[in-house]
Structure 1
Amino acid sequence: MSSQTRPSVESYRAAMLLSAAGDALGYRNQRWEYCESGPQIHRELEELGGLGAIDVCLPDWRVSDDTVLHLATAEALNSGKLGEDLLQDLAARYVEGMKDMENRKPGPTSILGTSQLRVGEPGGYRIPFNPRALGCGAAMRSMCIGLRFPRRCQLPDLVRLSVESGRMTHNHPTGYLGSLASALFTAYAVQRKPLLEWGVGLLDTISIARQYVQSTGIDPQENIAAWEYFPEKWKWYLTERNLESGEGPARFPAAYGPKERDEVYQTFSLEKWAGRSGHDAPMIAYDALLRAGDSWTQLCSHGMFHGGDSDSTGVIAGCCWGALHGVLQVPSGNYQHLEYRERIITAAERLYSTAWGAGVE
C-alpha cells in the first residue's frame, strides 16, 4: 500500500472495536487476566459454548483499564491540539481516566505515574525516571497513535507521541518502547506492510526513538543504561521465529497448543508473567497475528486466551487484526454490545477524519 492510498473508515472502526473486544475477552472481569493457565481458559471457553456464543457486554465482560486509557489517548489525539498543548491534554485525560477504574484493575505503575503528573504546570506531563517501570501499561493504550499517524512520512510524529505518552507513566525504555511498538504495528496494519517485516521495522524504528530520546535531554544516562534490554529481546524473538531478515517463513514449534504457548510465552517474559511487560505484550500480540492469519478465532486463542496478562496482549492484537481484516468474520456478539461502544466508534471515526483529512464515508 502506498503512503497515499486511503484505507476505509470501516478498518478504523474495526481496529478500535476489536481492540476493546480483545481486552474484554482477555480480561473476563479479572477471571482470565489473572489465570495462569491457558488450557484452563480454553476449557472454560468451551463450557461457555465457544467464542461465537459470547456476548461481550456488561456486566460479565466489562473492558479493563486498557481500553479506558486507550480511549483517553484517542480522544486527546482527536482534540485538535498540537505540541505541548497535546501533551498536557494527554496527561489530563490519563489522570481523568484513572477515576474510571472500579473493577478494571489498573497496574501499579500506571497508578503511580498518573499520581506524579502535574497537569497544567510547564512540563508537568513528565515524571521521574523509574527503574521499575517495565510494565505494559504504556503499550496497551497507544495503538491509536498508529491510526492517527499511519503514513510512512509521519514516522517522526508517531515516534515522538508514542514515547512521550508512554513515559507519562512508564518512564523507562522497556515501558515506553512498548508504546512505540503498539503504535507502530497499528500503523503497519493500516499500511498493509507484510507481517513478516514488522519486527525488523520495529528494530529500525527503535534506533530513531533512541535519537529522539537523546535529543530531549531527559534522563539521558538512565535511559541509555537501561536501553538495550528491549531491542535485544526482540532480536532474540525474531531469531526464534526465523524473521531476523524480515523474510521468513515464520518458524513455530511443532506443537503449539495452549499448554505449549504458555511455556513459550514465559520465555518471552519477565518474571514468568506473559504479556505483563512493555516488550512482551506487543511480542505476544505479534506472535498471535503471525499464527492466526485471517482467523479471529485463532487470534483470540493465541492472543487473548493464554496464561498471563491476556487483556493487554488482546487489546493490541485485536486492534492490529481489526485494521487488517475488519469485522466481517467476527461473531457479532463479540463486539456489537461492548461497553463504551458508541464512544469507541466516535473515536475511531474522528481518528479517521483527522488522519485522512476528510469526513467519514
Structure 2
Amino acid sequence: MEVLPHAPSKEAYRAAMVLSGAGDALGYRNQHWEFCTSGPQIHQELQELGGLGKICAALPDWPVSDDTVLHLATAEALATGKDGELLFQEMARRYVEAMKDMKGRKPGPSSILGTSQLCPGEPGGYRIPFNPSGTGCGAAMRSMCIGLRYPRPSDLKTLVQVSVESGRMTHHHPIGYLGALASALFTSYAAQGLPLECWGSGLLKTLPLALEYVQGGVVESDSNSEAWAYFQEKWERYLSERGVADGQGPAQFPPDYNPTERDAIYKTFSLEGWAGQSGHDAPMIAYDALLGAGDSWEELCGRAMFHGGDSDSTGVIAACCWGLTHGFRGVPEGNHMELEYRGRMVSAADALYRLAWGQMSV
C-alpha cells in the first residue's frame, strides 16, 4: 500500500461528510434557494437572515435534500466493505430504500425513474436501460464518498468502475454518470493533497479509462459511445477559459466575478440553462468555487451554495472537497453542529476512513 505525502486525518473525513451535508442544507434552504433563479436575491436574503454566521442549519427550517440522503446511501453501502457485484447490489438496495425518505426533499426525475427500475438481489438487478434523458446531476451529487473509499492513485481503476456503475444505476447517460466519476475523482484528489489547478486536467486524463470500461461491458456500449463527447468538450472549454487546461495555475477569473456575473457565466456551463442541473456542470461549478474560495468557507458558500442554479447539488460537492482539505476551520458551528443526519455522516466517515487507510493515527 503506497504512502501518500499528505494522507488525510479521520477528522478531515468527518469534515468532508458533514460539511457536504451542510452545503446541501444551505444551498437547499428547504426548497427555497435551490429553486431561486437569482443569486443576488439569495445573497440579499442571506444578509436579511444576519449572514452565514447566524444560520443554524437544523430542522425544521434547514433539512438536507435528496442529495445528502442519496450520498449517505452510497457511503453506507461502501462502509459495508463489500466490493464488485456484492457492492453494486448493496448500492442498488440502499438507493431504492432511500427513496422512501424523500418527503419534501425534491428528488430529480432520473433518480425517481432509475430507482424504480432497479431490482436489487436479482442477477444484474443494479443495471437499468440507457436513458437519453439521464443527464442530470443526481449521480454526481451522491458520489463524493467513493473518493473517500478509494483515495489512492492505485485505487483509480476501482474508483472509475464503482463511480460509473453507481452513477448509471439511475443516470444511464455519459453526462449523468461521468458526473459521478468527476465528484469521486475530485474527492480522491483532495485526499491526496493535489493542487486544485490540476484536478480538471486529471479528470480529462481519466475519461479514456472510463470509456474503456464502458465499451468493454455488455451494457449498451454503442449508445454510450455515441453520447460520450459532450461531457469532455464542455470540460475542455471550461478549463481553457480558466487557464488551467495544462494543470497549472493560477486560475483566471473575470475581473468582477460577483453574484450577477456568476449567474450568467454558470448558465454558459449548463446543458439547458439551469446551472448545476446536469452531470457535467454540477462538479464544474463546485470546482470553479473551490478554485476561487481558497480557505474561506464563506467565499465557498457564496460561490457554490448561493447562486441562481441547482445550488444544493453544487454545494454538496464543493463542501465535501473543501472539508477534506480544510476541516471545520472557519466554519460557524451553527452551519453544521445540529445538521439532520449528522450522526450518520460521522459514522460513515469513520467507516470509510478505516477501510481506506487502515489503523493510521488520526
Question: If the length of structure 1 is used for normalisation, what is the TM-score?
Answer: 0.98
Name segments (4+ residues, structure 1) moved above 6 Å: none
1:358 Cα deviation after fit: 2.1
Match of 1:232 in 2: 233
Q: CA deviation at 1:4?
A: 6.4
1:171 aligns with 2:180: no
Superposed displacement of residue 3, structure 1: 2.9
1:218-229 aligned within 5 A: 218-229=219-230
After alignment, is 75-84 or 260-269 more displaced?
75-84
Residue 302, structure 1, aligned to residue 303, structure 2: yes
Residues 349 and 360 of structure 1 are in contact (CA less than 8 Å); yes or no, is this contact kept in structure 2? no
**1:21-69 deviation line (CA, Å, top 9, x unaligned):** 0000000000000000000000000000000000000000000000000
In 2, Cα distance between the equivalents of 1:323 and 1:189?
6
Asked if the contact 1:17/1:341 (under 8 Å) is kept, the reply is: yes
Determine the C-alpha separation between the residues in 1 that align with 2:216 and 2:71: 27
Quote the Cα distance in structure 2 between the aligned partners of 1:83 and 1:225.
27
**Residue number in structure 2 paired with 1:321:** 322
Q: Do 2:151 and 2:192's aligned partners in 1 also have CA atoms closer than 8 Å?
A: yes
8 Å Cα contact 2:25/2:63 also seen in 1: yes
Structure 1 residue 2, shift from structure 2 partner: 5.3
Deviation at 1:109, TM superposition (A): 0.5
3-state SS in 1 of match to 2:244: coil
- Residue 340 (str. 1) matches residue 353 (str. 2): no
The residue correspondences of 1:1-40 to structure 2 (distance < 5 A) are 3=4, 5-40=6-41
How far residue 81 of structure 1 moved from its aligned partner, in angstroms, is: 1.4
1:5 CA drift (Å)? 5.0
In structure 1, what is the Cα distance between the partners aligned to 2:140 and 2:257?
Answer: 25
> 1:202-246: CA deviations, max 9, x gaps?
000111101111111311110010000000000000010011111
2:112 & 2:148 partners in 1: Cα distance?
A: 26
Matches of 1:330 and 1:2, distance apart in 2: 30
Q: Which amino acid aligns with 1:52?
A: G
Q: Are residue 354 (structure 1) and residue 317 (structure 2) matched?
A: no
**Unpaired segments of 5 or more residues in structure 2?**
none
**Structure 2 counterpart of 1:64:** 65
Alignment partner, residue 286 of structure 2: 285
**Partner of residue 91, structure 2:** 90
Paired with 2:327 and 2:132, the residues of 1 have a C-alpha distance of 39
Q: CA RMSD in A?
A: 1.1
Any conservation in 1 of the 2:7–2:191 contact (CA below 8 Å)? no
What is the CA-CA distance between 1:359 and the residue it aligns to?
7.3
Check conservation: 2:56, 2:335, Cα contact below 8 A: yes
- Give the deviation of 1:119 after TM superposition: 1.2
Q: Is the 8 A contact 1:130 1:172 kept in 2?
A: yes
Contact 1:146 1:184 in 2 (8 A): yes
8 Å contact kept, 1:190–1:324: yes
Matched residue, 1:331: 332
Question: Aligned equivalents of 1:276 and 1:23: distance in 2?
Answer: 14
* Structure 1, unaligned runs of 5 or more: none
1:195-206 to 2 correspondences below 5 Å? 195-206=196-207
C-alpha distance in 2 between matches for 1:344 and 1:224 = 36
Q: Is the 8 A contact 1:3 1:152 kept in 2?
A: no
